[in-house]
């Protein structure tokens, strides 16, 4: 599977993710992967997203750290969302048939 084909099949989120992570954040994470593909990044089939809240001028801002193992990649993205979440790690895995967003303990 080429990088442009990765994360292009049907996308799913587990029930746990659907219950704990607001939809706008879920959509933003999928969008981050789409933008990386458009940039020509080589994507690993497992992406790790760490969600952290930082206060900027007294306002909560969603911080997303996206990383992968092969090839090594790490970047930080700031999102303006209505309900930021803190201390959550998500995995997005492309199995080839479908893509799943899940918590590490759901693997």
Rg from Cα positions in the chain: 14
pLDDT (tens digit, 9 = 90+) per residue, 33-66?
999 999 999 999 999 999 999 998 998 999 999 9
Cβ atoms of 69 and 44 closer than 8 Å: yes
Give the domains, in start order, of the chain with CATH numbers.
10-106 (3.10.450.150)
Q: What is the pTM of this model?
A: 0.93
């Amino acid at each position: 599977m080429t990088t442009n084909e990765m994360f292009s099949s049907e996308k799913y989120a587990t029930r746990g993710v659907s219950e704990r992570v607001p939809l706008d954040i879920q959509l933003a994470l999928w969008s981050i992967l789409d933008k990386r593909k458009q940039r020509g990044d080589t994507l690993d089939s497992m992406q790790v997203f760490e969600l952290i809240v930082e206060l900027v001028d007294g306002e909560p801002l969603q911080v997303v750290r996206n990383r992968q193992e092969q090839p090594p990649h790490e970047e930080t993205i700031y999102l303006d969302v209505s309900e930021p979440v803190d201390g959550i790690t998500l995995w997005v895995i492309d199995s080839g048939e479908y893509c799943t967003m899940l918590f590490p303990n759901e693997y």
